[in-house]
Amino acid sequence: MPTWLALPEPVHHALLVLAPLLPLLLALLGAHAASARWLVRTAPLATLPAWLLVFAGPAERAWPDLLLGLVLGIDLPRSAWLVLTLLLWTCATWFGVTYMAHDEHRRRYQFFLLGAMSGNIGLILARDPITFFSFFALMSLMSYGLVIHDGRPGSLRAGRVYLGMALLGEMLQFAALGLLFFEPAAAAMSGSGLTIDQLANRDLSASTIGLLLAGFGVKAGLLGLHMWLPMAHPVAPTPASAVLSGSMIKAGLIGWMTFLPLGSAAYPNLGASVAVLGVTGALMAALAGLLQTHPKAVLAYSSVSQMGLMISAVGLGLIDPATGKLTLWIVLLYALHHGIAKCLLFLSVGLRTVRPMRGFETTLFWSGTIFAAIALIGAPFTSGAVAKSHLKYLVKDSVWIGAPTLGLFLTAAAAGTTILMFRYLATLRRLQPDPHHTAPARILLPWLVLLLATLAATPAAAGWWAKRGGLPPAPMLDALTLLLPLLAGAVLYALITRALRLDTRTEPVIPPGDLVAWLHHAWARIQPTRPAAASVAPPAPPSFSAHPALARLARLEGTLSRWATGLAAIALAVLLFAAMAWWTGS
């Protein structure tokens, strides 16, 4: 990691703390009404210390008095994650300054957005497990406020599912991190002061790996744990959706990269299941996404699909240590490509609703959006082509017996992405602009920055990381291989759209959140029917607190206190006393 900006050591270390802390401080300041107005405008500047950190070279510092031994640091791979994260956060919050300017609750939005930003930056810099876990939790909890921002019933339901699954993920991570401390060869008995390097990246037991995979898999949208994602991402305000789907979703991957022993040990069975889960998720999400009617829901499923590809790459890395070393960099490259393109596509949805466009602007908007879409598909000469070539290289390089099949499925998933992007463009075209909003032209600036990044960032990073980091020199796939999924996807899209009459539907065939939504319907069906409420109040959401089992517990409790348990205890005591007297007497 080169140093472009030489800083005195104390300043450098202060920046390590300030990078995650400044957004959090601004979030808290914003809760105070008087300072809220100028804070809403300056939110993108909260990323400034973290940006400086990117250019200031490697650093690490421990503060043993803080937390259970706080260690923060930055090295080359982390600075790469940080660049991706900061780029998206800066553009999305910048976009939000204009986009959310007339929102009734923009102070609240600002609070949760900055809080989540703090968590996202902090977890990249964390070098000890407790700090990582803390920032991860901060990000997850703050995002809840973004998901339920508009307060509609659908958002509240999405928020409940999101929070439930996020907390489940936290619990699994908690157990996994606990087990890490007791892995063989763990350092001496001490609950604190151990860095991630001392704990992880060693030969871990399968149960620890499993818990790590599931715990961070919730955030990464691992198949079976992904249901919250298509529910929560679309309902958040658009700038928040963009960072949720572009950046925060990657925190799960960062967790895996941080704790899994990629490149130092082999886990053939676990790795194979992860690879299969990943690619299955990629295909199924493509199908489910096709059946959506809102462009943001289509994009959310596309995120699940794209994450599936990255997850299967992690699976390959677990199978074989030789591949594992490459996995980190290839996944990083893919995440960069996907994050930027996805963020831009989300902002396009926002632009479409608040910015009435005509003439050159319309041309620019559609060509930019379509370019990002075909980049995501992986057409030749786009960032997708670079990322996909590296992914294919990883598959070819793998010793796993299933790798060739996986390669085929990856191509199928690319066709799935094509279908999704067509669907996205179709739904975006049908989206009606919001007549109440006419955003000024400056709202286009962050979008343009992202467009430039879509063009240049991934190829530039690939060249650079190949030279400085550990990215393998993957040969570019030929145009035919890249175009095949595009053509196949286009044909399939035309056929399916015709068959299912998708053009005329206003309700999604599969509700966002698939499994959870179905479970919800099933649950509603087996519930005893309640008498219809007389008022027009919306039906109460199914709640734990009204469950009959809890009422039964309450009755038991009543019995307990009626029995005057205390008196019974005294009687027991007297009996025991008699027994004791007899005992000691004899």
Partner 1 sequence: MIPDTLVPLAVLLTSFITGIAILLLGEDRVRLRTVLNLAGAVLKLALVMLMLWGVFHGHAYQTRIPFLPGMDLVLRADGMTILFASLSAVLWLLTTVYAIGYLEGAPHRRRFFAYFSFCVTATMGVSLAGNLVTFFLFYEVLTLTTFPLVVHRGTEKSMKAGAVYLAYTLGGSALVLVGMLWLYTIAGPFDFTETGVLGDLFAQHRIALTVIFFLLMLGFGVKAAVFPFHAWLPAAMVAPAPVSALLHAVAVVKAGAFGMVRVVYDVYGISLCDEEALLPAFMVLAAITILYGSLRALAQDDFKKRLAFSTVSQVSYILLGIAMFGPMGTIGGLVHLVHQGIMKITMFFCAGNVAETLHLHKISELKGVGRRLPLTMGAFTVAALGMIGVPPLAGFVSKWHLGLGAIESGHPWILAVLAASSLLNAAYFLPILRTVWFDQPDTPWPAPEGGCRLEASWWLLVPPLATALLTILVGLLGGSVLSPIHWAYLVVGREY
In the complex with partner 1, the residue whose CB is nearer, 182 or 518, is: 182
In the complex with partner 1, the residue whose CB is nearer, 134 or 306, is: 134
In the complex with partner 1, the residue whose CB is nearer, 432 or 545, is: 545
In the complex with partner 1, the residue whose CB is nearer, 204 or 313, is: 204
In the complex with partner 1, the residue whose CB is nearer, 67 or 287, is: 67
Minimum distance, C-beta of residue 94 to partner 1, in the bound complex (Å): 26
Identify the burial level of 395 via C-beta atoms within 10 angstroms of its C-beta, where 0-12 means exposed, 13-18 middle and 19 or more buried.
buried
Positions in the binding site for partner 1 (CB under 8 A): 31, 63-70, 130-131, 133-134, 137, 141, 148, 151, 163-164, 167-168, 170-172, 174-175, 178-179, 181-182, 189, 191-193, 544-547, 550-551, 553-554, 557, 560-561, 564-570, 572-574, 576-577, 580, 583-584
Kindly tell me the sign of the dihedral angle through the C-alpha atoms of 85, 88, 91, 93: negative
**C-alpha to C-alpha distance for 157 and 232, rounded to whole angstroms:** 9
In the complex with partner 1, the residue whose CB is nearer, 64 or 440, is: 64
- Pair of tokens at residue 281: 């998720």
* Helix, strand or coil, per DSSP, at residue 265: coil
Check if the beta carbon of residue 408 is closer than 8 Å to that of residue 493: no
For residue 63, the 8-state DSSP code is E
In the complex with partner 1, the residue whose CB is nearer, 437 or 520, is: 520
Minimum distance, C-beta of residue 218 to partner 1, in the bound complex (Å): 13
In the complex with partner 1, the residue whose CB is nearer, 81 or 133, is: 133
Minimum distance, C-beta of residue 204 to partner 1, in the bound complex (Å): 14
Minimum distance, C-beta of residue 53 to partner 1, in the bound complex (Å): 22
Minimum distance, C-beta of residue 130 to partner 1, in the bound complex (Å): 6
Q: What are the residues whose beta carbons fall under 8 Å from the beta carbon of 342, sequence distance 6 or more?
A: 242, 245, 246, 299, 302, 303, 306, 376
Other CB atoms within a 10 A radius of the CB of residue 467 amount to: 9
Going by DSSP bridges, is the β-strand pair 59-63/70-74 parallel, antiparallel, or unpaired?
Answer: antiparallel
In the complex with partner 1, the residue whose CB is nearer, 30 or 263, is: 30
Minimum distance, C-beta of residue 357 to partner 1, in the bound complex (Å): 34
**C-alpha to C-alpha distance for 156 and 129, rounded to whole angstroms:** 32
Minimum distance, C-beta of residue 152 to partner 1, in the bound complex (Å): 12
Minimum distance, C-beta of residue 179 to partner 1, in the bound complex (Å): 6
In the complex with partner 1, the residue whose CB is nearer, 118 or 417, is: 118
In the complex with partner 1, the residue whose CB is nearer, 456 or 572, is: 572
Minimum distance, C-beta of residue 65 to partner 1, in the bound complex (Å): 4
- For residue 329, which of 532, 551, 78 has the smallest C-alpha distance? 78
Residue 131's identity, in one-letter code, is T
Minimum distance, C-beta of residue 18 to partner 1, in the bound complex (Å): 16
Other CB atoms within a 10 A radius of the CB of residue 235 amount to: 26
Strand partners, 73: 60
Q: How many residues does the chain have?
A: 586
**C-alpha to C-alpha distance for 167 and 25, rounded to whole angstroms:** 24
**C-alpha to C-alpha distance for 558 and 409, rounded to whole angstroms:** 60
Minimum distance, C-beta of residue 562 to partner 1, in the bound complex (Å): 9
In the complex with partner 1, the residue whose CB is nearer, 487 or 564, is: 564
Strand partners, 72: 61, 126
Q: What stretch of H or E contains 108?
A: helix 106-125
Minimum distance, C-beta of residue 552 to partner 1, in the bound complex (Å): 10
Check if the beta carbon of residue 419 is closer than 8 Å to that of residue 496: yes
- For residue 13, which of 78, 57, 46 has the smallest C-alpha distance? 57
Check if the beta carbon of residue 323 is closer than 8 Å to that of residue 399: yes
CA atoms within 13 A on the CB side of 275: 29
250-259 and 295-319 helices cross at what angle (nearest 10)? 10
